[in-house]
Amino acid sequence: MKIENAMVLAAGLGTRLRPVTDTMPKPLVPIAGKPMIDYGLDALAAAGVRRVVVNVHHFAGQMIDHLSRRQRPEILISDETGALMDSGGGLAKGLRLIGPEPVFVLNADLFWIGERRGEETNLRRLASFFEPARMDMAMLCVRLENTTGHNGKNDFSMDAEGRLTRYSAGCGEPVVYAGAIAMLPSLLSDAPDEPFNLNIYFDRAIAAGRLYGLMLDGQWITVGTPEAIAEAEAVLGKKAGAA
């Protein structure tokens, strides 16, 4: 499946990353000299994505100014300066700015490195894996040992076909949600207009047996605390040194 539209969830306050986020939005915090959000946007562009909706709230002016300087992909702004909509509400609002075609959904505070040269990127693999006839959502997942900056907890259990359920010891392979989804916007056609958490739709998909996962290739990095900045830069430094 070809996916050319996406949304990046970037409107959070970044409270755990204070005091860094007292003066800038979390997605613009530099990791090895590059704003976090640009790692994700670059990955989307490399996967063939043409248009990306980005929601903004905290230091929205800084976000809009930075995003306006990108050449690709095309950026559309979903303005949440009036009120934060949480992950689900923000996604539902942002998706109204684009059409019904399949989309990637990406969190702004994570990225990955170490994809194998000459092979499809993680996002292209996810697009190929996603089958709307039997899946509500297909999400990238990662083994705990391949994470940096994570809290050490597993999110889901994956069976041999990739079907996901909430994590339970001894039930399938334990995995961490890597913050990237392939889905159809119509999945949220019944979403309320007020803020809500996207976990509601995860649980619905699980109950219907329609939440699936694909294992990420490489090392997954998330930056939620000031300490995680140094951890992420150390991993990037090792990768650069080995190149």
Looking at per-residue pLDDT, the higher value among 169 and 93 belongs to: 93
Q: Nearest 5°: CA angle at 133, between 164 and 118? A: 70
Domain count, the chain: 1
116 band by pLDDT with thresholds 50, 70 and 90: confident
Alpha-carbon gap, residue 188 to 112, rounded angstroms: 27
- Examine the pLDDT at 142 and tell me if it is beyond 80: yes
| pLDDT attached to residue 170 | 82
List 86's β-bridge partners, or say none. Answer: none
Lowest mean pLDDT among 30-34, 66-70, 113-117: 113-117
Average pLDDT over residues 141-168: 95
3-class SS letters over 162-177:
CEEEECCCCCCEEEEE
pTM: 0.94
What single-letter amino acid sits at 149? G
- Examine the pLDDT at 124 and tell me if it is beyond 80: yes
CA torsion through residues 233, 239, 242, 243, sign: negative
Average pLDDT over residues 110-139: 95
**Which residue range forms the structural domain that includes residue 184?**
5-242
Percent of the chain surpassing pLDDT 70: 98
168-220 tens-digit pLDDT: 988 899 999 999 999 999 999 999 999 999 999 999 999 999 999 999 999 99
1-28 tens-digit pLDDT: 899 999 999 999 999 999 999 999 999 9
CATH number, residue 222: 3.90.550.10
240 band by pLDDT with thresholds 50, 70 and 90: low
Q: Which residue has the tokens 């095309």?
A: 74
What tokens were used for 47? 């996967």
- Examine the pLDDT at 243 and tell me if it is beyond 80: no
- Examine the pLDDT at 41 and tell me if it is beyond 60: yes
119 band by pLDDT with thresholds 50, 70 and 90: confident
152 band by pLDDT with thresholds 50, 70 and 90: confident
32 band by pLDDT with thresholds 50, 70 and 90: very high
List 132's β-bridge partners, or say none. Answer: none
Contact 212, 126 (CB under 8 A): no
- Examine the pLDDT at 242 and tell me if it is beyond 60: no
| pLDDT attached to residue 117 | 83
| pLDDT attached to residue 118 | 82
- Pairing, β 30-31 against β 103-107: unpaired
| pLDDT attached to residue 238 | 78
Q: Which residue has the tokens 């290739």?
A: 217
